[in-house]
Amino acid sequence: MGTWAVDAFGNDYAQDWAEDLEQTSNLEAVENTLDTALENNGGVLEAPFGAEALVAIEVLARLQGKGGERSEDSAAVDAWVEARKPKARVRTDLAEKAGRAIERILSEQSELRELWADSEHYADWCAAVEELRGRISA
């Protein structure tokens, strides 16, 4: 995975997911992404699914007016959210799924967490994920 930042948008998986989001008009992609991250067939959550889930959660936070820092990396998601924000309401069940997805991403059963744990930026990544959790649950 090409990674250049600890935030949800700073990797290739996130950028690819954001490009695909531009082709949708509702929250179906967000919900499907969260559902994939929450599937637990006794296995490890693979890194691509964890990274995509973090971007999906950023979409929900931004729709609630609790967006994080805007950057060139978040531009596609920010534009998508701005086009839908006046009419979009985040369903309670999606916010709940987002919280559970973050738990899974931070768990011992997460390849993404494992990859970050092997880096010198693990604490920064954990802080970024916790900051996102605070925005989605507040």
Specify if 101 maps to a domain: yes
Specify if 71 maps to a domain: yes
**Per-residue pLDDT tens for 48-65?**
999 999 999 999 999 999
* Overall average pLDDT of the 77-105 stretch: 90
Average pLDDT, the chain: 93
Q: Rounded to two decimals, what is the model's pTM?
A: 0.94
Specify if 60 maps to a domain: yes
DSSP assignment of 86-130 equals: TT----HHHHHHHHHHHHHHTSTTBHHHHHHHTSTTHHHHHHHHH
Provide the domain count of the chain. Answer: 1
125: domain range? 12-137
For residue 112, pLDDT beyond 60? yes
Specify if 131 maps to a domain: yes
Specify if 108 maps to a domain: yes
Specify if 69 maps to a domain: yes
Specify if 104 maps to a domain: yes
